[in-house]
Each structure stands twice: as structure tokens, then as C-alpha cells.
Amino acid sequence: MNMEEKNKKKILVGEDEKAIAGALQNKLAFEGFDVVLAENGEEVLKAIEKEKFDLLLLDLIMPKLDGFAVLKEMKEKKIILPVIITSNLGQEEDKKRVEELGVADYLIKSNVSIMDIVLKIKEFLKI
């Protein structure tokens, strides 16, 4: 493993819409990130407990466990991991709810492109 691979930032994408998850995975991998996909909240939590990530990109509406439940569980287990929400829920109360659970940012999927999300991640991870 060369130096570059070792310094690769690892991102967990919690997204149940396969097309979006695939697009994010391709774009992030192309930009040099190590990407792991989880298609429901349970998979997100399992992945977090098993591996170390630099960032979690999390959808709020997912099967099994939604993003709110994932955030709550992370808080209860004191899992420190920056989270950027990507959701179509644009209600102020949803934003407030996740901000109280300590998310780094909240992006409305319909308002941002995949590239916008990548730029946001890079900005957040100071790349």
C-alpha cells in the first residue's frame, strides 16, 4: 500500500436509492476517496462499528433504520464521526432535529448535484 492509499479519506454512504448511491460512489472514487455503501440504517451502523470512516454521507429516509435513528444511536454510543445529511426532507423541523444530533451539514438532494456534494465533502475534510 503506497502512501497515497494510506491517506485516502474513507467515506461511508448511507443511501437506499441505488442510482444515487452508485453515482456518489463513482464520483467519490474518481475523486480519490475510498467509498463504502450501505443501503439501510442497520448496514450503516454495522459498518461504523466495524471500520473507521472520515465522514458519513447519510440519507434520512431509509429502510430498516432511518437516518434519524442512526444519528440517535451514534450519539448514544458516543460514536464520533462527521455526518453530512443528503435528503429530500427540507422541513425546518427535520433540519433542527438532525442539527441537535450534531450533523456537520444538511444538503437537500433535489437542490444539489453529485459534484456539489463532492465539493462539500472536500471542503469539510479540508482537501
CATH number at residue 120: 3.40.50.2300
Per the structure, how many domains does the chain have? 1
**Please, which residues have CB within 8 angstroms of residue 112's CB and are 6 or more apart in sequence?**
86, 120
pTM for the model? 0.92
Backbone angles phi, psi at 111, to 5 degrees: -100, -10
Q: What is the pLDDT along the chain (127 residues), one digit of tens a residue?
A: 444 556 799 999 999 999 999 999 999 999 999 999 999 999 999 999 999 999 999 999 999 999 999 999 999 999 999 999 999 888 899 889 988 888 999 999 999 999 999 999 999 999 8
Give the range of the structural domain holding residue 26, as residue numbers without chain letter.
3-124
